[in-house]
Amino acid sequence: MAEIEVDLYEVLEVHRGASADEIRKAYRKAALVNHPDKVPEDERPAAEAKFINVQKAYEILSDDDKRHIYDTHGMSAFNGAGEPGMGGGMGGMPAGFEEMFAEMFSGGMGGMPGMGGMGGMGGMPGGGRPRRSPDEEQDYEVSLEELYKGKTVKFASTKNVICSLCKGKGGKEKATAKKCSTCDGHGLQEVITQMGQFLTKQTRPCSVCNGQGSFFSPKDKCKKCKGKRTIEEKKMLEIYIAPGSREGEKIVLEGEADQIPDRENGDIIFKLVQEEHEVFDRAGSDLRAAIDITLAEALTGFSRVVLKHLDGRGIEITHPAGKVLSTGQVLKVPGEGMPIKRSDSRGDLYLAVNVKFPDESWNPTPEMLAKLQELLPKPGPAIEATTVDEVEYDPNGNMDEFGARDAQGGSAWVDDDDEEPAQCAAQ
């Protein structure tokens, strides 16, 4: 079978000038779409091969040095002979490049999942570490209360594990797998498809061997896994969210991803996503909330619980009489913010004051109003001006209408910094 040249940019469906952020977003999208857990069981071999291709493409294109090598020399830089492994060296590369390349990858690309038919990048010489199965990443939504108090989550996970009967071989103990003649053992085959008026060449997992490169005859297949080498197994897992954890943090369950024969187990990675809270906003280890107080409390002081905290405690504030509070004023409560991980410290709580004035249902008597006028501060000196008739007014005016009736179409708002328009010279 001829060497299969795969365009890594096509694998991720990005253009060659794509930025690192565009490559990262494309990888996340492609990995989610092609994850083996997202397809029916009979489609998993094909999805797994595509998923590994996507992951390997990202491994190369997300690294500036590897991407430069690929852009300059193509896949031949990773396998000059076109067969799995380095084979006869870096054919066609400039002097000294082979040593530089070997140093860059620190003795091989072990630890990165293989590419199947993409040149066998997991088989580079000197690789001391076995390849890994793909990591499984997913978001985990968590409330602010859970981030404040901490939480232990137990859940059942169904994953693929290596068959205990055949030890991941796929066939009977003394049986030998046959090399797939359709793909010549590469696991991939080229398919010509038509898109509109054009014929395109695509690489897909081999339909005969399901992308494995070899297969057992029906009579030699393992009776337990039916030749698939792995079986499904349910396992109870547990994650611990420490108090003070933040959105974006990752919790890693090492070795708990799907198992693949001849590879180290990948990880399950949970990324914390904080749900929006109705009362509190968070910034680092600090918390912010708004509190409502009455006009009487703003003027005369108060002592009461103004807020229920994330752990259910009531936050009580005592504000002395004679210290007037106004809307927008902020009360800082030290040590009542979020816990700080790996310490006994906490952030601070910021309370934004909102003074609530009486609404239309308030109906004081003339005597009450007179007493208020007597108690409250008097207005400033009278404005000296010619007295005019008393004017009518709308108590529900809307500032959005300010300047809206300008016949010239200009805004009535004037910015003091705006330059005055030039005047036409007199003729």
Upper half-sphere CA count for residue 225 (Cβ side, 13 Å): 23
Please give the CATH architecture assigned to the domain spanning 136-177+216-274: Sandwich (2.60)
Q: CA–CA separation, 358 vs 296, rounded Å?
A: 10
Mean pLDDT of 319-325: 90
**Highest mean pLDDT range out of 92-96, 321-325, 337-341, 415-419?**
337-341
Whether the per-residue pLDDT at 154 is higher than 80: the answer is yes
Say if 8-73 and 136-177+216-274 have the same CATH topology: no
The Cα–Cα gap between 265 and 259 comes to 6
Residue range 280-356, CATH number = 2.60.260.20
- pLDDT category at 419 given cuts 50, 70, 90 is low
pLDDT for res 194: 62
Q: What's the confidence (pLDDT) of residue 117?
A: 38
CB atoms within 10 A of CB 44: 21
Residues 12, 14, 17, 19: is their CA dihedral positive or negative? negative
pLDDT of 53 above 80: yes
- Give the pairing of strands 198-205 and 314-319: unpaired
Q: What is the pLDDT of residues 270-283, one digit of tens each?
A: 999 999 999 999 99
Separation of alpha carbons 283 and 325, rounded Å: 25
- The tokens describing 19, both together, are 């930025």
Q: Work out whether strand 268-274 and strand 188-195 pair parallel, antiparallel, or are unpaired.
A: unpaired
HSE (side-chain half, CA atoms, 13 Å) at 366 = 0
Name the residue with higher pLDDT: 388 or 56. Answer: 56
CB atoms within 10 A of CB 65: 12
- CA torsion 404-409-413-415 (nearest 10°) is 170
Helix H, strand E, coil C: the string for the chain is CCCCCCCHHHHHCCCCCCCHHHHHHHHHHHHHHCCHHHCCHHHHHHHHHHHHHHHHHHHHHCCHHHHHHHHHHHHHHCCCCCCCCCCCCCCCCCCCHHHHHHHHCCCCCCCCCCCCCCCCHHHCCCCCCCCECCCEEEEEEECHHHHHHCEEEEEEEEEEEECCCCCCCCECCCCCCEECCCCCCCCEEEEEEEECCEEEEEEEECCCCCCCCEECCHHHECCCCCCCCEEEEEEEEEEEECCCCCCCCEEEECCCCCCCCCCECCCEEEEEEECCCCCCEEECCEEEEEEEEEHHHHHHCEEEEEEECCCCCEEEEEECCCCCCCCCCEEEECCCCCECCCCCCECCEEEEEEEECCCCCCCCCHHHHHHHHHHCCCCCCCCCCCCCCCCCCCCCCCHHHCCCCCCCCCCCCCCCCCCCCCCCCCC
pLDDT at residue number 131 = 77
Q: Whole-number mean pLDDT of the chain?
A: 78
pLDDT in tens, 204-260: 878 777 777 888 888 888 888 888 889 999 989 999 999 999 999 999 999 999 998
Distance of alpha carbon 262 from alpha carbon 168, whole angstroms: 8
Whether the CB-CB separation of 56 and 115 falls below 8 Å is answered with yes
Mean pLDDT of 173-177: 82
Residue 124's beta-bridge partner residues?
Answer: none
Q: How much is the pLDDT for 286?
A: 96
Task: Specify the pLDDT at position 318.
Answer: 94
CB 180 within 8 A of CB 206: yes
Range scoring the smallest mean pLDDT among 10-19, 193-202, 243-252, 356-365: 193-202
> Encoding tokens for residue 395?
């108590």
Q: Nearest CA to 119 among 168, 193, 52?
A: 52
Output the pLDDT for position 107. Answer: 37
Report the distance separating Cα 119 and Cα 7, nearest Å. Answer: 12
Contact between 285 and 246 (Cβ < 8 Å): no
8-73 has which fold?
Answer: Helix Hairpins (1.10.287)
Tens-place pLDDT, residues 75-123: 666 543 333 333 333 344 443 444 444 444 433 333 333 333 333 333 3
Give the model confidence (pLDDT) of 352-372 as tens digits: 999 999 888 888 888 988 888
Q: What does DSSP say about strands 330-333 and 281-283: parallel, antiparallel, or unpaired? A: unpaired
| Calpha distance 125→386 (Å, rounded) | 99
Query: Whose CA is closest to 82, among 9, 7, 1, 191?
Result: 1
CA distance linking residue 285 with residue 349, whole number of Å: 9
Place of tokens 């797939």: 180
Domain coordinates of the chain in residue numbers? 8-73, 136-177+216-274, 280-356
